[in-house]
Amino acid sequence: MPIDHDDPVLILLPPSEGKSVPARGPALDLAALSLPGLTSARRAVLAALADMCSCDPQRARTVLGLSPRQAPEVAWNAGLDRAPTAPAAEVYTGVLFQALGHRDLDRAARRRLDDQVLVWSGLWGAVRLDDPIPAYRLSASVDLPGIGRLPAFWRPHLGAALAALVADQVVLDLRSSAHASSWRGPPAATVVGRVLHERAGTLAVASHFNKATKGRLVRALAQQGRDPATPEELVESVRAAGFVAAWAPGSGRRPATLDIVVTDP
């Protein structure tokens, strides 16, 4: 099912390293994933990853930055084309996705998230929350033999696939810098979100609160049900959802920034 081009907000999320391995489900079908313009690129990355992991597991562990106890994840990668799949919202299990709580939302809010959210990925480029994927291991910054550095590889493919999609959408970019380097939204329509931690009157980029706050923010926006059509309206929606937000409009090639301020509970 294609992404709704008429929806005025597109939310970009990073993936999580933590993943749930589907026990059962249909085998991977690249043609079933959203953004079909990425299919050939996905096939190339998948083939290179599987080849490395099946032919040289030791090298694969080094390239992927895995510890000896994570060796089973190399075996996952070698058999991804035969592995069971589940919706991405169920496969990604990190802090952000736990706070997002996709499964616990009502049907209308889940539908909004499935329509609005793209999760960035070193393997898939970007997927929707309801796209069926297997568990895998491939960080966005990897230099993959046969492919090269993933951000550089994905940049032209994502640019072409997303050009029409974001023509009339506001983009809320909550990705990490490692993922953002592969594609950036149009500056005039993009809001880059950060989480800042306030302690004793001092603001610093949050680490502990970062992912959970982003997950709660996206959940709140889905439940809110608004359709902001401009960056300014998006900021209003964030504040209406109960978040403390500092807003700096964009200019020229610089997108707007939205700092979500959190304090110790």
Model confidence pLDDT, tens digit, residues 22-61 = 999 999 999 999 999 999 999 999 999 999 999 999 999 9
Task: Please report, rounded to a whole number, the percentage of residues in the chain having pLDDT higher than 70.
Answer: 95
Q: Cβ neighbours of residue 202 under 8 Å, at least 6 residues apart?
A: none
Exposed / middle / buried, residue 98 (Cβ in 10 Å: 0-12, 13-18, 19+): middle
Considering only 134-138, 161-165, 191-195, 242-246, which range has the smallest mean pLDDT?
Answer: 161-165
Residue corresponding to tokens 């996905």 = 42
Model confidence pLDDT, tens digit, residues 57-109 = 999 999 999 999 888 899 989 999 999 999 999 999 999 999 999 999 999 99
Exposed / middle / buried, residue 25 (Cβ in 10 Å: 0-12, 13-18, 19+): middle
